[in-house]
Structure 1
Amino acid sequence: MTRFLILFAVVARLLPHPMNFTPIGAFGLFAGARMPLLQALALPVIALLVGNIITGFYDARVLMAVYIGFLAGPLIGRAMLRARRGMVPVASAVLVNAIAFYLISNIGNWIAFYPPTFTDLMACYVAGLPMLLASIAGDAVYATLLFGGEAMVAQMKENRRDEGGHAV
């Protein structure tokens, strides 16, 4: 499952998409909820690294903050979704994840591109608000595909079990 998720995340990340509308946050949430912690933490890092090898790297301060920001997903997935299923827990985790990524990743932008003042940190966060909205939307779409797809497969197995008396 890990290889499939990494491949899916890399391919989805490389497809044309609006800025910050990526699958990495949702994949981190899903991995944190369904995989051992070290594998879950490795998934976004490997997907980002492969994507950066293909598309190129950028300012190391921003890059580091982005990678650290995406590590929040598996931790949030583990904390909020490991034992809970359903639309409300997933939607809540998506929101928390996007906000955590926004708060962490914008620190890298602030360090790289703004004067080191509190006022400029706030200016950086304000400038990043459109990216936060795109992250929420991307995480929501991909989390729906991942968690919704998982629920559909489980339901199909249950229906087959009910119809034929055995699991598929």
Structure 2
Amino acid sequence: MFYLMILAVAASRFLPHPPNVACVAALGLFAGSYMSGRRAYLVPIGVMGLSDVVGHMLGIPGLGFYNLAAMSMVYLGMAASVPIGRKLRNASGTSRLWKIPAASLAASTVFFVVSNFGTILAGWYPMSVAGFTACYINAIPFYGFTVAGDLCFSVVIFAAYELSRARFYTPAMAKA
């Protein structure tokens, strides 16, 4: 199921959408919550890598390879959603219902801080107090898009999984 979700999320990056509205961080939260070990980190990294390779080959604006420092920080920011998702693992019931939006907001905020630091490392802003201030102030509109996208996609992914699990789960599946 995770492999299908990876492909679906990677494909979703090719659909028209506002800037920073993507379901990669939501999938990272989901992977962190439901997958064990290091392979959970491969989910958001795999989505980004797959879609960037295809986007680069097809020459799609906004996808593909660019400055290594900035790109590395974007990937790191996406991967940071996994440990946040791990915190959701032990929550259940009503507690989990409220923790998913909070985790989504945390993932958006971490991505905002880390990815914008990458733009400074890339040299797109001066490495000074004024440069940091300008970078983060100019990125505030993108942060709003990131929060909206992460929140919506997190609710959809977690709800779809829980509803399908409630509908199709049998005790025999737990033994498999």
Shared fold, TM over 0.5 = yes
d(CA) in 2 for partners of 1:156, 1:146: 15
Q: Which residue of the partner structure matches residue 62 of structure 1?
A: 70
Q: Which residue of the partner structure matches residue 91 of structure 1?
A: 101
Post-superposition Cα deviations, 1:66-95, rounded to whole Å, max 9, x if no partner, equal 00111111111002x111143210000000
Q: Which residue of the partner structure matches residue 105 of structure 1?
A: 115
Helix, strand or coil for the counterpart of 2:13?
helix
Matched, 1:4 2:4: yes
Helix, strand or coil for the counterpart of 2:91?
coil
Matched, 1:18 2:36: no
What 5-or-longer segments of structure 2 have no aligned partner? 56-63
Give the aligned length. Answer: 161
What root-mean-square deviation, in Å, do the aligned CA atoms of Structure 1 and Structure 2 show?
1.8
TM score, norm. by length of structure 2: 0.85
d(CA) in 1 for partners of 2:47, 2:161: 21
Letter of the structure 2 residue corresponding to residue 82 of structure 1: R
d(CA) in 2 for partners of 1:95, 1:137: 9
- Runs of 4+ off more than 4 Å: none
Structure number with higher helix proportion:
1
Q: Is the 8 A contact 1:157 1:167 kept in 2?
A: no
From 63, 66, 89, the counterpart of 1:82: 89
> Deviation at 1:154?
3.2
> Deviation at 1:15?
1.4
What 5-or-longer segments of structure 1 have no aligned partner? none
Identity between Structure 1 and Structure 2 (%): 30
